[in-house]
Amino acid sequence: MNTKTKVGFIGLGAMGRGAVGNLLANGYGVVGCDVRPDALDWLRAQGGEPASSLAEMAGQVDVVVCFVVNSQQTEAVLFGDAGLVGRLPAGAVFIACSTMDPGYVRTLDGRLAQHSISLIDAPVTGGAVGAERGTLTIMGSGNPEAFELARPVLETFGARVHYLGVAGCGAQMKVLNQLLCGVHLAAAGEALALAKRQGLPLDLTLEILCSGAAGSWMLADRGPRMIAGQFDDVTSAVDIFVKDMSLVLDATRESRFPAALAHAAYLAFLGTASRGLGAQDDSAVTTHYEIAARTS
């Protein structure tokens, strides 16, 4: 793809903005859609082109990157009123970077093929910081020829772009990734809540835990927010992990696989959301354990 190639982009949240910044920095034109006017203002300020509708976008691009929240939003983008299907040109590539149910992804692949659209199932990990720095890990799957067409786009915001096989394999890998992320995050919240209950100095506790074998990326990244008890600066919401751990549990049921730690983590996020904290940063999961300790 040359420097004049335009890429459609849907979903200008924290992750999407980082990816868009890297696309623009690498010479791609970006035609973007988002339901929030301020996100479109941001895109215009970066040198991208806001589209007033999906239909307007579809007439300008052959490749679309989608960073929406879930399969329901993906379905609406593609098949909803004024959706992309029927408006994208034949041979277009739709790159889905959302965390979705693998079964849905496999079915979606066939449905899009009927409209001569290639699906690239490409969930990511590495957070908003990784998207901004272009260091995401991308778990790609789909038609191999279409994947190679999509690879240059993916490599603008992914430092490690992996091909796993047919569509749905990327979603399966992301489910596994989220199992570990959810368990690590819940465990970090539990440990720091226990340290607080015991009266340990929290800053020093975090420094010590991160310096040895107990450390994890989630502990180091979310720990300071847990200690501060300030969850309004949201990089990823509690509700996202309620959704993602639900996908993990669906996968374990399908596989007849007992995943006790995944269940425990899911309940921690669900318990946090049930207290009205679902829209808060996911580090708020530590409050689940703090409240449990106060009532025990």
Q: Residue-wise pLDDT tens for the chain (296 aa)?
A: 445 589 999 999 989 999 999 999 999 999 999 999 999 999 999 999 999 999 999 999 999 999 999 999 999 999 999 999 999 999 999 999 999 999 999 999 999 999 999 999 999 999 899 999 999 999 999 999 999 999 999 999 999 999 999 999 999 999 999 999 999 999 999 999 999 999 999 999 999 999 999 999 999 999 999 999 999 999 899 999 999 999 999 999 999 999 999 999 999 999 999 999 999 999 999 999 998 777 66
Which domains are delineated in the chain? Answer: 6-165 (3.40.50.720), 172-295 (1.10.1040.10)
Q: How many residues does the chain have?
A: 296
Q: Which residues are tagged catalytic?
A: 174
Contact status, residue 130 vs residue 136, Cβ threshold 8 Å: yes
* Distance of alpha carbon 174 from alpha carbon 205, whole angstroms: 31
Nearest alpha carbon to residue 121 among 55, 178, 173: 173
Say which residue the tokens 């496999």 belong to.
106
Query: Helices marked H in 163-254 — which ranges?
Result: 169-198, 202-211, 217-228, 238-254
CA distance between the termini of the chain: 60
